[in-house]
Amino acid sequence: MLTFMASDSEEEVCDERASLMSAESPPPRCCQEDRQGLEDGEGADQWRGQDSEDDFDEDPDHYVCGGVPGQPSGLEEELTLKYGAKHVIMLFVPVTLCMIVVVATIKSVRFYTEKNGQLIYTPFTEDTPSVGQRLLNSVLNTLIMISVIVAMTIFLVVLYKYRCYKFIHGWLIMSSLMLLFLFTYIYLGEVLKTYNVAMDYPTLFLTVWNFGAVGMVCIHWKGPLVLQQAYLIMISALMALVFIKYLPEWSAWVILGAISVYAAMVWTVGMAKLDPSSQGALQLPYDPEMEEDSYDSFGEPSYPEVFEPPLPGYPGDDLEEEEERGVKLGLGDFIFYSVLVGKAAATGSGDWNTTLACFVAILIGLCLTLLLLAVFKKALPALPISITFGLIFYFSTDNLVRPFMDTLASHQLYI
């Protein structure tokens, strides 16, 4: 989900959100605000104060410094364009980094491309004799996965609505614990195995403990912004790697397609229900921080991206408020972009062209989505356009471009 974050003028919404956001992992914020998690009970004033501290030293003419209340609305369109390009690049960099981590791991560590069982969310196997059966199984897997997502989304919305914030806090903390410690341990183990590096248990324990503890502090409390973003990129990459390993071939592609259709559908339904005359009264305040992983049982990841799609109720008028604090992109979007590119790298038979084509396609999709965001000024789902482009380019590059380029390269012809 992509939104612009403006400052909130409604104090009560702010307080609620402030207390909720304190324990959540802030989204991958590429802009330079210091919006790290607050302690419980810190007021909105402090929150805004923290924002205005963070000035954009490096490029003053490209950004409006925060903390300027009551700008005349005529400047709005200028702001739209002024910050447009910079925000696009601010999103490109973390998305690219996440993809680089995933592709580098896929190409070097064999563990993540080995078939070693499936998740319980995709129970149907793809080792079937006929193509039709395989297709049917992958569609069924997708249906199950999507229903799990829907169920989790509803569950979380219900929790949010009935103010069971402690439960949500606990869930997020547990899921980030599991990602930062267990999955990092497994990842580190596989990387060490690949490069045949011997590491003794005390060193391993120290490394994983430090990495995980600093990660928990950075994500859930305070930390340098760059470090926080680096950790969010790492956990998105870890999650994407898990998906690449455990989702069977065709199911992964169908799931990617289904997720973007689902996101688009939910967004249209949300937009249809959004009544501009009742600002924020009926809708839940949009909470992009709710993208985090959640785990049902030990070691079995459940769906991470659930939280964003059904909450497009960010009241439109708030976006015309003063402080434009940049664009937010959900962690689920990172994860699915990386799954697409990682899958292209894993199954492309050693071919880099497919990976690069998917990468460029996703970036262009993100560009287009941001352009639409600037035009419509409403929260938008970031998945559909990028994933559609990515899928189109994956299948066409793999089947059409690859033979052509391979033939050209073998004859050393240049086009």
Judged by CB under 8 A, the stretch of 21-29, 35-43, 335-343, 391-399 that binds another protein is: 391-399
d(CA 288, CA 386): 19
Among 217, 227, 271, 364, binds another protein (CB under 8 A): 364
Cα gap 266→1, rounded to integer Å? 11
Tell me the C-alpha distance between 20 and 242, whole Å: 28
Total residues binding another protein (CB under 8 A): 38
Q: For the residues of 67-131, what is the DSSP string, one character each?
A: ---S--TTHHHHHHHHHHHHHHHHHHHHHHHHHHHHHHHHHH-GGGGS-----TTS-S-S--SSH
Nearest to 316 by CA among 377, 270, 402: 377
**75: contact with another protein by CB under 8 A:** no
344: which 2 tokens? 């292209």
H or E element, residue 389? helix 383-396
Given the complex with another protein, which of 78 and 320 has the nearer CB atom?
Answer: 78
Which of 62, 110, 115, 166 contacts another protein by CB under 8 A? 62
**Residues in contact with another protein, shown as a per-residue x/- string from 313 to 352 under the rule CB under 8 A:** -------------------------------------xxx
Which SS3 state, helix, strand or coil, does residue 300 take?
Answer: strand
CB-nearer residue toward another protein: 279 or 396: 396
* Dist CA 289 CA 292 (whole Å): 8
Q: Is 363 in the site for another protein (CB under 8 A)?
A: yes
Applying CB under 8 A, which part among 120-128, 137-145, 226-234, 404-412 lies near another protein? Answer: 404-412
Site for another protein (CB under 8 A): which residue of 71, 82, 139, 221?
82
- Alpha-carbon distance 87 to 18, whole Å? 24
Choose one: 78-86, 211-219, 247-255, 302-310; the region binding another protein (CB under 8 A).
Answer: 78-86
CB of 340 to another protein, least distance (A): 16
Backbone dihedral angles phi then psi of residue 28, each to the nearest 5 degrees: -65, 95
Per CB under 8 A, 357 contacts another protein: yes
**In sequence order, which residues have a C-beta less than 8 Å from that of residue 301 and are 6 or more positions away?**
119, 239, 242, 293, 295
**Phi (first) and psi of residue 95, to 5 degrees:** -60, -45
**Binding span for another protein by CB under 8 A among 76-84, 202-210, 231-239, 288-296:** 76-84
Instruction: Compute the least distance from the CB of residue 84 to another protein, in Å.
Output: 8
Which residue among 30, 88, 172, 252 contacts another protein (CB under 8 A)?
88
Shortest Å distance, C-beta 402 to another protein: 8
Which spans of this chain sit near another protein (rule: CB under 8 A)? 62, 77-78, 81-82, 85-86, 88-89, 92, 350-353, 356-357, 360-361, 363-364, 367, 393, 396-397, 400-401, 403-409, 411-415
